[in-house]
Structure 1
Amino acid sequence: MNQPLAYVHPGAKIAKNVVIEPFTTIHNNVIIGDGTWIGSNVTIMEGARIGKNCNIFPGAVISAIPQDLKFGGEESLAVIGDNVTVRECVTINRGTVASGQTKIGNNCLIMATAHIAHDCHIGDNAIIVNGVALAGHVIVGNYAIIGGLAAIHQFIHIGDHAMVSGGSLVRKDVPPYTKAAKEPLSYVGINSVGLRRRGFSAEKIREIQDIYRILYQKNYNTSQAMGIIEGEMSASPERDEILDFIRNSSRGIMKGYSGSY
């Protein structure tokens, strides 16, 4: 494990089979799990908790203090799950007193130069593409994909299985199972290809499409659409997840379908 040209603080807890390449710095109060590889010129700062079988590529900075003027030096964490790949020059800041941690789930891919700010919570199997910028307190659901160079406003919620196109400016919440594109950000359909790849049946995909047709393509306002969905469509985990997401949206959901796609 211990490369003579790497610095590992004696207080860091590193599993025996972790590989640490030259010129990497690992600070105190860091825990790294079995089978993880840390490339050259990586900086892992206090409060990092990195799981098993992760790959951290050169230039990444994990668990630096938040870029938040309200941060008062409180103890907090940056938690990364198992089987996560963090590519070159990614920055992941630790949390603030608001939630205590920035958290990335299992099996995620964070591509080069992405920034994940304080108190962001990213689910399992998410993909954050090159150059994406997540402001503080963003929630990204399981299996969500955020395209390259997208900018995500603070406190935004992106639902499970959603897909945001590259270069998007995300100022409103993106409901689960949808595709989001255009400027301003708009609903452009459901992520049917992704859902098929993940084993959703054709019947289940049609159900999700029917829900979003009512919500976005029938000229109802959001309250009217939700009443129709709840009253006319049979209860299911997907239906209830969509309705709960909309009810709990603090910033409001993205605008409806318009134009031709």
Structure 2
Amino acid sequence: MTTIHPTALVDTGAELDSSVTVGPYTLIGPHVKVGAGTSIGAHCVIEGHTTIGQGNRIFQFNSLGAIPQDKKYTGEPCELRIGDRNTIREFCTFNIGTAQDTAVTRVGSDNWIMAYVHIAHDCQVGNQTILANNATLAGHVHLGDWVFIGGLTGVHQFVKIGAHAMAGFASAVSQDVPPFMTVDGNPLAVRGFNIEGLRRRGFGPERLAAVKQMHRLLYRSGLTFEQARADIAAMAATMPQAAGDIATMTGFLAQATRGIVR
């Protein structure tokens, strides 16, 4: 049977797998669904139309599924969806989406989310990300897979950060960050590409060379943005072993809405 502490208040409408554990003084609302093997610590509030997958570790004092901090929100039945095997440390706040976007805030799977992280309405967080203490995502932010956000870093609303990118400690991220790049500071600047992270993820010499060349075209060659985009796209013909990485970059650049950090 589901292990629910006697002091926890779980609405009869909530759907919890039989293997879920719920700690003392936690509140779970009527529209919440929690998958197998997920543990929820003490003093959490999980409300709204929130769906949580399997094998998550939710530590004490979290607020998940509250209404957005958006004055335009008028009570629409928007959602928060959390995937599988995420670690969510203490004092995090994840809000539901809004009708002005997809109406869903999404957090993928296998993410490591440290204390005091805020994920605002309509954010789309990928898989295998790391958000360090006090990282703050404003509304409508998109994070690709394997993104790392340093502690005390704030990400402006509508910003997109591409896969494998890294934002350093206490940065102010107000423009889109292309995949693979390393940025930090206020004002934000590109410091290079995330070579150590890519090596840890199994990128071989050919793929690393392609990422290095894309970095050079965007940031070291004096090209305009459109010229750099065209030259990056042309790389696929001569570097077929990195075609997937090149496609990741060209796809991101085609959809950058706030202008990339340069």
Give TM class, smaller chain: over 0.9
The aligned counterpart of 2:13 is: 11
* In structure 1, C-alpha distance between the alignment counterparts of 2:205 and 2:234, rounded to whole Å: 23
* In structure 2, C-alpha distance between the alignment counterparts of 1:232 and 1:53, rounded to whole Å: 41
Q: Which of these residues, 211, 222, 236, is aligned with residue 219 of structure 1?
A: 222
* In structure 1, C-alpha distance between the alignment counterparts of 2:236 and 2:19, rounded to whole Å: 52
* In structure 2, C-alpha distance between the alignment counterparts of 1:248 and 1:31, rounded to whole Å: 33
Matched, 1:200 2:203: yes
Matched, 1:111 2:114: yes
Q: Which of these residues, 75, 81, 97, is aligned with residue 77 of structure 2?
A: 75
Q: Residue 100 of structure 1: CA displacement?
A: 1.5
SS in 2 for 1:131: coil
Q: Percent same amino acid among aligned pairs?
A: 38
Question: Does the CA contact (< 8 Å) of 2:141 and 2:155 recur in 1?
Answer: yes
SS in 1 for 2:4: coil
The aligned counterpart of 2:174 is: 171
1:239 corresponds to which letter in structure 2? I
The aligned counterpart of 2:257 is: 250
The aligned counterpart of 1:125 is: 128
Matched, 1:149 2:152: yes
* In structure 2, C-alpha distance between the alignment counterparts of 1:125 and 1:17, rounded to whole Å: 24
Q: How does 1:13-32 map to 2 (within 5 A)?
A: 13-32=15-34
The aligned counterpart of 1:259 is: none
* In structure 2, C-alpha distance between the alignment counterparts of 1:24 and 1:102, rounded to whole Å: 22
Q: Residue 233 of structure 1: CA displacement?
A: 5.1
* In structure 2, C-alpha distance between the alignment counterparts of 1:231 and 1:4, rounded to whole Å: 63
Matched, 1:186 2:181: no
The unaligned stretches of length 5 or more in structure 1 are: 256-261
Q: Deviations over 1:63-88 (max 9, x none)?
A: 00000000110001111100011110
SS in 2 for 1:227: helix
* In structure 1, C-alpha distance between the alignment counterparts of 2:15 and 2:231, rounded to whole Å: 54
The unaligned stretches of length 5 or more in structure 2 are: none
* In structure 1, C-alpha distance between the alignment counterparts of 2:41 and 2:113, rounded to whole Å: 15
SS in 2 for 1:95: coil
Question: Does the CA contact (< 8 Å) of 2:107 and 2:125 recur in 1?
Answer: yes
**TM superposition score normalised by structure 1:** 0.95
* In structure 2, C-alpha distance between the alignment counterparts of 1:16 and 1:230, rounded to whole Å: 50
SS in 2 for 1:237: helix
* In structure 1, C-alpha distance between the alignment counterparts of 2:47 and 2:176, rounded to whole Å: 31
Q: Residue 10 of structure 1: CA displacement?
A: 0.2
Question: Does the CA contact (< 8 Å) of 2:170 and 2:185 recur in 1?
Answer: no
* In structure 2, C-alpha distance between the alignment counterparts of 1:229 and 1:79, rounded to whole Å: 35
Q: Residue 228 of structure 1: CA displacement?
A: 2.4
CA RMSD of aligned residues (A): 1.1
SS in 1 for 2:157: coil
SS in 1 for 2:64: strand
* In structure 1, C-alpha distance between the alignment counterparts of 2:231 and 2:17, rounded to whole Å: 54
Q: Residue 241 of structure 1: CA displacement?
A: 1.7
* In structure 2, C-alpha distance between the alignment counterparts of 1:194 and 1:110, rounded to whole Å: 18
Q: After TM superposition, where is structure 1 displaced by more than 2 Å over at least 4 residues in a row?
A: 227-235
The aligned counterpart of 1:239 is: 246
* In structure 2, C-alpha distance between the alignment counterparts of 1:161 and 1:87, rounded to whole Å: 22
* In structure 2, C-alpha distance between the alignment counterparts of 1:51 and 1:239, rounded to whole Å: 32
The answer to which of 44-53 and 221-230 deviates more is 221-230
Q: Deviations over 1:158-215 (max 9, x none)?
A: 0001000010000000000110113321111111111111111111111110111011
The aligned counterpart of 1:258 is: none
* In structure 1, C-alpha distance between the alignment counterparts of 2:94 and 2:48, rounded to whole Å: 12
Aligned positions, number? 255
